[in-house]
C-alpha cells in the first residue's frame, strides 16, 4: 500500500511539473525584476518550431485573408529558394545584379530598401530582390545575371520605370546548373 501511495505521489508531482513548464519563447519573454523585459515578434509558425511543437506545413493551411496568403506564399517561396540552394539546384557564382537602392544605417532605410525591392519585383516579376545590410549601408539589388549585357538591359528598363539610381554591380549570384551551362 505504501509503494502504491508513493507511485501515485510521484505521478502527481511529475504531471504538475509538466503542466508548469513554459515554452522557450515564454521563458525569454517573462519579466524578471531588475532585468527588464524582452519581447519576441515573429511568425507563429517559427514560434512553434522554436518551442519544439509540431508544425502543419503551410501548403495545407488555408486562410481567407489576402495579406496572410501573400505572406505565406512569400515564406514558402523563400523556403523553396533555400531548399534549392542547399540541395545544389542553384550554384553561387560571380555575376551581376542591378542595385536599385543604397542608403544609410537607419531603420527607415531598411524599410525603404525593402519597398524599392518590392516595387521593382512587382514591375518585373521574373527578378528576385535581395535586401541586405553591409555596414553601414542598407542596399537592395535585383536579378541574377551571368552576363553584364543582360544586367545592363534590365538596368535601362528599371531606370525607364522611374528608379533613377539603378546601376549594374558585380555580385555573387544564384543560378541553376542549366542556366550556367546555357550561358557558357
Whole-number pLDDT of residue 169: 95
User: Considering only CA atoms, which of 150, 163, 119 is closest in space to residue 173?
Assistant: 150
Residue 143 — left, alpha, or beta (φ > 0 → left; ψ -120 to 50 → alpha)? left
Which pLDDT belongs to residue 127? Answer: 93
With 70 as the cut, is the pLDDT of residue 144 above it?
A: yes
CB atoms within 10 A of CB 161: 13
pTM of this prediction? 0.51
Residue located via cell numbers 515564406:
75
Tens digits of residue pLDDT in 52-107: 776 655 544 444 344 444 444 444 445 445 544 444 557 888 999 999 999 988 88
- Of 72 and 168, which is predicted with more confidence? 168
| CB-based contacts of 169, cutoff 8 Å, min separation 6 | 96, 97, 98, 99, 141
Of 28-32, 84-88, 160-164, minimum mean pLDDT range: 84-88
Burial class of residue 7, CB neighbours in 10 A (0-12, 13-18, 19+): exposed
- Secondary structure of residue 134 in the 3-state scheme: strand
DSSP conformation class of 32? B
Amino acid at each position: 500500500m505504501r509503494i502504491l501511495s508513493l507511485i501515485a505521489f510521484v505521478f502527481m508531482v511529475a504531471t504538475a511539473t509538466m503542466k508548469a513548464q513554459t515554452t522557450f519563447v515564454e521563458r525569454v519573454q517573462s519579466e524578471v525584476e531588475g532585468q527588464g523585459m524582452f519581447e519576441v515578434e515573429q511568425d507563429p509558425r517559427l514560434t512553434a518550431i522554436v518551442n519544439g511543437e509540431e508544425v502543419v506545413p503551410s501548403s495545407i493551411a488555408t486562410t481567407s485573408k489576402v495579406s496572410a496568403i501573400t505572406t505565406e506564399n512569400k515564406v514558402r517561396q523563400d523556403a523553396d529558394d533555400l531548399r534549392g540552394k542547399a540541395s545544389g539546384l542553384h550554384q553561387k557564382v560571380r555575376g551581376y545584379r542591378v542595385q536599385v537602392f543604397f542608403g544609410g544605417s537607419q531603420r527607415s532605410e531598411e524599410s525603404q530598401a525593402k519597398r524599392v525591392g518590392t516595387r521593382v519585383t512587382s514591375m518585373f516579376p521574373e527578378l528576385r530582390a535581395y535586401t541586405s545590410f553591409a555596414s553601414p549601408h542598407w542596399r537592395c539589388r535585383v536579378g541574377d545575371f551571368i552576363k553584364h549585357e543582360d544586367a545592363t538591359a534590365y538596368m535601362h528598363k528599371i531606370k525607364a520605370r522611374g528608379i533613377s539610381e539603378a546601376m549594374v554591380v558585380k555580385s555573387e549570384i544564384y543560378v541553376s546548373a542549366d542556366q550556367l551551362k546555357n550561358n557558357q
